[in-house]
Structure 1
Amino acid sequence: MFDFLLSPIPGLILLAVLAFLIVLLYARSIYKNAGPDEALIITGKKSKKTVVDGATLEQSGQRVVHGQGVFITPFFQKAFKISLRSRAIEITAIAQDKMGITLTVEAVAIVKVGDDPDAIRAAAQRFLGQDKNIDNFALEVLSGSLRSSIGATDVMTIIQKRDELGASVLATARESLANQGLDVDSFEIKGISDANDYIKDMGRAEQAKVRRQAEVAEHQANREAQEAAIAAEQAIAVAQNTLALRRAALQLDTDKAAAEAAGARPLAEAKTQQAIVQEQELTAQRRASLRKAELESEVNAVADAEAYRIRVTAVAAADAAVTAANADRDSRKSIAEAIRAEGQANADAILARGAAEAESTRLSAEAVAQQSEALIQLRMVEMLPRIAHELAAPMSNIDNLTVISTDGASQLSKNVAAGFSEVDAMLSSTMGVGIRDLLGSFVGGAVAGQGLAKAATVEPAGERAPDAASPEDSTWTRTESQ
């Protein structure tokens, strides 16, 4: 980085930038341009002389540039700007016409520097840097030309032909202005007046003449209007007379028509009544026919509906009877099948129960034959819950129980225990075996039961068919069935 700064390259770049800036500033200083309302006059060149047809013409060395830019040579050429804008100049001139009447004429002129290079050079030579002098010079020249033109004509011409006065002023002043490099775009007369009311007096005669003509015309118009009014009234009277006659004729026709209408009215009413009666008869006949048709339609509709109802009812009743018969038949079949099945089931159940009871009785007899005492004890143990139930049955039917005892509610349990004691004493006295003895020998009864089970398994169930039962077994089965 430092090597680059110490090298000559940065210096060369700086010099190039400075040279560019200097060239830019120099070009700006030597380049001049003119606006759209300006013109440049470039001076510094020598004038040229040329000979045309033996006459020597000198061409100015001044160069005129309009609406563009140009480079100038420094130290040898200079550029000056001059405005080309239009200027409105108010002019008031007091002068006497050729009849000696003093008039005051007001006008406005539009003045500007000419467009051609010679006019621009002439204006630059005289008014460069002094634009206000253009207004003053143009004002003086145009005022003089206006006064001169007023003196050459009369007031009536000025009043009636203002354009001619303006053209005369321009024709007189244009040459003087062109010598100064100026041009007039337009010149208009704004107003004409005089201090002695001459123009007003000139108008009075005309006004009187016009007023007189107007009065005559007014009288003539009034007379014509009156004549027209009279003619109109006459026409109105004639029209009213004609109208009255016409109304009378119309009234006559109306009365005649009214009389005819009055005479024709009863006849017309009679004819109308006849027509009404005929129409009523036709209406009554049509109404009767319509009512007859309605009654026939109603009767037929009712009969058809009743026949249809009876037919549908009969068909429905027949279908219902067939359905009911089928249902009753199926129901009876079902009931018969159920009764038969139930009877068969009852018979099978009775047969099975009888066979089972017979087998149980046989086994019990065999067990009694083998272990009679233990079996009796077992039966007595099985009866103990039923005995207890029978002892408590009277108490279960009691809704409200009042215990009168010093022991309270525990008296009930004592009573139950006393009942069991009485049962134990009864068994001991009648069978020689008490409840304690039964419970003590329950183990022996269990062994006896095992012996019975073994005895039952020794004999196969198929050796003895139900049909081969003994007469005692059959008797037992019948008894149980009954």
Structure 2
Amino acid sequence: MIFVPAERKDPMFEFLLSPIPGLIALGIVVFLIGLIYAKTVYKNAGPDEALVITGKKSKKTIVDGATMEESGQRVVHGQGVFITPFFQKAFKISLRSRAIEITAVAQDQNGVTLTVEAVAIVKVGDDPAAIRAAAQRFLGQDKNIDGFAQEVLSGSLRSSIGGTNVMTIIQKRDELGSSVLATARESLANQGVDVDSFEIKGITDENDYIRDLGRAEQAKVRRQAEVAEHQANREAQEAAILAEQAIAEAQNTLALRKAALQLDTDKAAAEAAAAKPLAEAKAQQAIVQEQELTAQRRASLRKAELESEVNAIADADAYRIRVTAIAAAEAAVAGANADRDSRIANAEALRAEGQAEADAILARGTAEATATRLSAEAVAEQSEALIQLRMVEMLPEIARELAAPMSNIDNLTVISTDGASQLTKNVASGFTEVDGVLKSTMGLGIRELLGNLVGGVAAGAAAATTVKPQASLTTAQQADVDHALAAPAVEA
């Protein structure tokens, strides 16, 4: 037995062949048709629009024996409404406000020709009767509303101007506007048009009548203004004079006050200047008094310190002396015996030493007497040599005096071809002059003085060596004698 597999069918193909897609397409078509139909039968009015629906029969009613016919037109604004296709129609009319410029040339009741400019705000009325009336006259021709309203308002404005005068128009413009609206409102309402406001913009005339009306008033006002200005100027000048006078008086008072204050200030400054030295003197006196008290207290303190120190030292010294005295007494008792023996021995030694010293003194005296005698003889014989020796001793002092002027010079400039050696020559020339003076007065120059001095010293030394001692002397005694003999020679 053979099995044949069944053919596999596509689900999408089966879905397309089923009645479901046709039903979906039919539903979409019905929906679109419904939208188109709804758009056709449903009308919606904007906030500034009104719908006028026609096609319905009018109704007649009898009220108090009078037959009233109700229009079959339906007015709808601010909402939507369904209409019956083929039997009813819907028309839109604008309810927007519009500004209209109005210019009217007319004569007032005095025959003065005036040109009045005004502006009016008009629109289609809000009630259904006004909308139906406007639709009957201006549907599809909204611009005609401006021209119609302008003509009606211009005529009403000319009529109102003819019933008043210039001063009333100028002073009471609101009354003119109200009169224009009262005259034109009925005519406009019959056309379905309403006026929101009416304002007068300006009033002019070609003959300067309005300007001439104000000339008298202007002159009066100008005159009053000039008078007031002069009065104000006079008052201002008077006020300025009073102000200057007050300023001058204030300045005078201020100057006097400043002078008084300056006087007080100078007086206070003088008193302060005089009080300062006095205060300083008093302060100095107080300081001196305090210093005196301080010195007295310091002296008292120092006195007390010294007394304390002296007392302490005295007590310590007394104790030390007492202890020392006791120790010394004990030592003295102990050393007295030793001193006795020592003194006995020392006395013998001193006796021998005194004898030796006596012998030495005797020999020294003998030698000195001999040397003195020899010196006296030499002085007597050689007095001229002593004078020459004195002159030689004065040579350094003479040289010092010759050089003294140069020692006081801080800076020295030598102007000579020999340079600094000229100074040495000047000093040498000074000694030459001194040598000339000595030769002219004493007959000896510096060279002869120095030669005689050297010869005298040599002779003195030779004479001293010829003296012999007369007694036998010790070595120490011989040294004293030699020293005594050498002294005169050195002095020579």
Q: 1:121 to 1:262 in 2, by over 3 A?
A: same
What letter is aligned with 1:121? R
Q: What are the superposed Cα offsets for residues 200-227 of structure 1, whole Å, 9 maximum, x if unpaired? A: 2223322222221111111111211222
> Which of residues 158, 175, 185 is equivalent to 2:169?
158
> Which of residues 33, 39, 48 is equivalent to 1:28?
39
Q: 1:243 to 1:44 in 2, by over 3 A?
A: same
Q: Which residue of 1 aligns with 2:159?
A: 148
- Per mean C-alpha deviation after superposition, the further-off stretch among 38-47 and 19-28 is 19-28
Where do 1:38-187 residues align within 5 Å? 38-187=49-198
Unaligned runs of 5+ in 2: 1-11, 297-492
User: Are 1:207 and 2:225 an aligned pair?
Assistant: no
Q: What are the superposed Cα offsets for residues 211-247 of structure 1, whole Å, 9 maximum, x if unpaired? A: 2111111111121122222222332343344334434
SS at match of 1:51: strand
Q: What are the superposed Cα offsets for residues 170-209 of structure 1, whole Å, 9 maximum, x if unpaired? A: 1211111111111111112222211112222223322222
SS at match of 1:45: coil
Q: What are the superposed Cα offsets for residues 131-168 of structure 1, whole Å, 9 maximum, x if unpaired? A: 11111100001111111121222222222222222222
What TM-score does the superposition give when structure 1 sets the normalisation length?
0.54
In 2: Cα distance, 1:60 partner to 1:16 partner: 42
In 2: Cα distance, 1:278 partner to 1:167 partner: 113
In 1: Cα distance, 2:152 partner to 2:166 partner: 22
Q: What are the superposed Cα offsets for residues 378-437 of structure 1, whole Å, 9 maximum, x if unpaired? A: xxxxxxxxxxxxxxxxxxxxxxxxxxxxxxxxxxxxxxxxxxxxxxxxxxxxxxxxxxxx
Where do 1:4-15 residues align within 5 Å? 10-15=21-26
In 1: Cα distance, 2:182 partner to 2:62 partner: 33
In 2: Cα distance, 1:51 partner to 1:279 partner: 141
Q: 1:14 to 1:270 in 2, by over 3 A?
A: same
SS at match of 2:111: coil
Where do 1:226-305 residues align within 5 Å? 226-274=237-285
In 2: Cα distance, 1:7 partner to 1:232 partner: 117
Cα drift, residue 41 of structure 1? 0.6
Q: What are the superposed Cα offsets for residues 41-65 of structure 1, whole Å, 9 maximum, x if unpaired? A: 1111122223334443322111111
In 1: Cα distance, 2:295 partner to 2:187 partner: 123
In 1: Cα distance, 2:290 partner to 2:203 partner: 102
Cα drift, residue 261 of structure 1? 3.1
The number of aligned residues is 287
> Which of residues 20, 29, 36 is equivalent to 1:18?
29
What TM-score does the superposition give when structure 2 sets the normalisation length?
0.53
User: Are 1:217 and 2:228 an aligned pair?
Assistant: yes
Q: 1:128 to 1:276 in 2, by over 3 A?
A: farther
What letter is aligned with 1:223? R
In 2: Cα distance, 1:34 partner to 1:282 partner: 124
In 2: Cα distance, 1:284 partner to 1:176 partner: 132
Cα drift, residue 2 of structure 1? 6.1
In 1: Cα distance, 2:16 partner to 2:256 partner: 133
Q: What are the superposed Cα offsets for residues 233-273 of structure 1, whole Å, 9 maximum, x if unpaired? A: 33234334433443443344344434433432321121233
Q: Which residue of 1 aligns with 2:206?
A: 195
In 1: Cα distance, 2:291 partner to 2:244 partner: 63
What letter is aligned with 2:166? V
